[in-house]
A = this chain, B = another copy of it.
Amino acid sequence: MASQNQENVGWFKGFIQKIMNVVISAAKDTKKLGKEDPRRIIHSFKVGLAITLVSLFYYFDFLYEGFGVSAMWAVMTVVVVFEFSVGATLGKGVNRAIATLLGGALGVGAHRLASFTGEKVECIMLGLSVFLIASMVTFIRFFPKLKARYDYGLLIFILTFCLISVSGVRDDEVLEMAHRRLSTILIGGLATVFVSIFICPIWAGKDLHNLTANNIEKLAIFLQGFGHEYFETTNDKNQENKASMDGYKTVLNSKGTEEALVNFAKWEPRHSKFRYRHPWDLYLKIGALTRECAYRIDALNGYLHSEMQTPMETRAKIQESCTKMSSECSYALKKLASGINTMTCSLPADAHILNAKAAAKKLKSSLKPGLWPETDLVDIIPVATVASLLIEIASCTVKIADSVHELASLSKFKSRDEASKDKNSKEKVTRTPSIESHSLSINIVE
C-alpha cells in the first residue's frame, strides 16, 4: 500500500516535471520570438485593442439594437483584416470594402430580378446565378496578377453576393440589410486602419527597404571573412565567425518574402522617406541580383569545407589578389547596404569596385603558365574555380551597384554632402553608364 502510494507520488512528480518542461520551453520560445522582433508584441496588443473597441461597440449595440445582428460584421472585419503591416491591412481593408459594395449591389440586383418571377422559377434563377458567379470568380482568382493583389476581395465578393442574393427576405429589407452590413464593415475597417496607422505603425515598405539592405550586408559579411578562412592554415577557425558568415543562406530563399512585401508596400501611403509611388518594383530587381550573387557565394562556401583542397603553397600564389577582390567586393557591398539604410548616395562604393577590377586583372596576370612550372593541374582546378567564382561575384556586385544607383536616383536619395547636392546628382546620371561598361570588362579573358 505504502509502495503503491510512493509509486503514485513518483508518477505525479514526473508528470509535473514534464509539464514544467513544456511550460519552460514555451516561455523560452516566447521570449525568443519577442526579442527577435519586439514589434510582434506591439502588434498583438494593437489587435487586442482594436478588437476590444469594436467588440464593445457590438456589445452596446446589442443592448440598444441599433444595427442588430449586423453589428457582428464589425468584429469580424477587425479580426480578419488586421494584419502585421499597414500595407497588408490597408490592402485587405480596401479589398473587403469594395468587394462588399460590388457583391452587395450585384446581389440586390439578382434578388430583385428573381423576385419578379414565380416562386419555383425564382429558386432556380437564384441557384443558377450563384453557381455561375461563384464558378467564374473562383476561376478568376487563378490569374496570377489578380491573385497577388485582389485575392481576398474576390473571395469576399462571392461571399457577399451569395449571402445577399439568396437571403429570402423581402425586397426592401434586403436593401436595408445590405446598407447595415456595409456600414458596420466600414466601422470595423476604419477602426482597424486607424489603430494600424496611428499606433506604432509597422510599414511593409520600410521592412522591404531594410530587408534589401540587410541581404546585401550578409553577402558582404561572407566576403569579408572568406579570404581569411580560405587562405589561413590555422585549424582553430572561429565558430562564431563561421555562424555570421553563414548568414547569406537566408538570402537564397528570400524571393517569396520580397514579393509579398512589395505587394503590401504598394498599398501604403506616404511614410517617413517613402512617397506613395515609391519605385517598389526596383527592390525585386535588386533582390534577384542579390540572390544571384548569393548562389555564387554558396558555391564558394562549398570550397571552404571541401575535401578537394589545393595545397597551401599553390593557393598562396593567388592569395593576395583573391583576398583583395573578396574584401573590395565586401567593402563595396557594405557601402551600398549602408547607403540604402541611410538613403544616401553611396559614391565610395564605386572606388572599391574599381579596386576589385584591378585585383581581377592582377589575378589574371598571375595565372600565366610560366609562373606555375611544377604544379599539378589537378591541384590548380579548385583554386581556379574559386578565383573564377570571385570574378563572377565581382561582376554581380557591379550589377547590384548599378541597380542601387538607379533606386537612388529614382527615389531621390540624399547626396552625401547636402551642399554639393546638385553637382553630385548630375555626376551620377552621367556616371552610371560608364560603370555599366566597366562591369562588362571585369572579365578574366579580356
Contacts and interface: CB of A to CB of B under 8 A. Distances in A.
A55 B165 CA distance: 9
A276 interface: no
B387 A381 contact: yes
The 5 lowest CB-CB distance pairs between A and B, nearest first, are A48-B135, A62-B168, A44-B139, A44-B138, A308-B445
A30 B392 CA distance: 41
Interface in A101-152: 123, 126-127, 130-132, 134-136, 138-139, 142-143
Interface of A: 29-30, 33, 40-41, 43-45, 47-49, 51-52, 55-56, 58-60, 62-63, 69, 72, 75-76, 79-80, 123, 126-127, 130-132, 134-136, 138-139, 142-143, 155, 158-159, 162-163, 166-169, 252-253, 255-256, 295-296, 298-299, 302, 307-309, 364, 367-369, 372, 375-382, 384-385, 387-389, 392, 440, 443-445
B159 A76 contact: yes
Count of identical protomers in the assembly: 2
A150 to B, nearest CB: 15
Given A40-B142, A255-B253, A378-B367, A130 B443 contact: no
Per DSSP, chain A at the interface is helix
A169 to B, nearest CB: 7
Contacts of A382: 388, 444-445
A351 to B, nearest CB: 25
Contacts of A166: 55-56, 58-59, 62, 75
A138 B48 contact: yes
Contacts of A253: 255-256
Contact of A48 (B134, B255, B364, B375): B134
Contacts of A136: 44
A253 B324 CA distance: 32
Given A40-B142, A48-B132, A308-B443, 16 more contacts: A29-B143, A33-B142, A55-B127, A58-B163, A59-B123, A76-B159, A253-B255, A295-B298, A302-B392, A308-B388, A368-B378, A377-B380, A378-B445, A381-B388, A382-B445, A384-B385
Given A296-B299, A307-B443, A385-B388, A55 B162 contact: yes
16 contacts: A40-B139, A43-B138, A48-B135, A48-B138, A51-B134, A52-B127, A59-B167, A72-B167, A75-B159, A75-B163, A299-B299, A367-B381, A380-B384, A381-B385, A384-B385, A385-B388
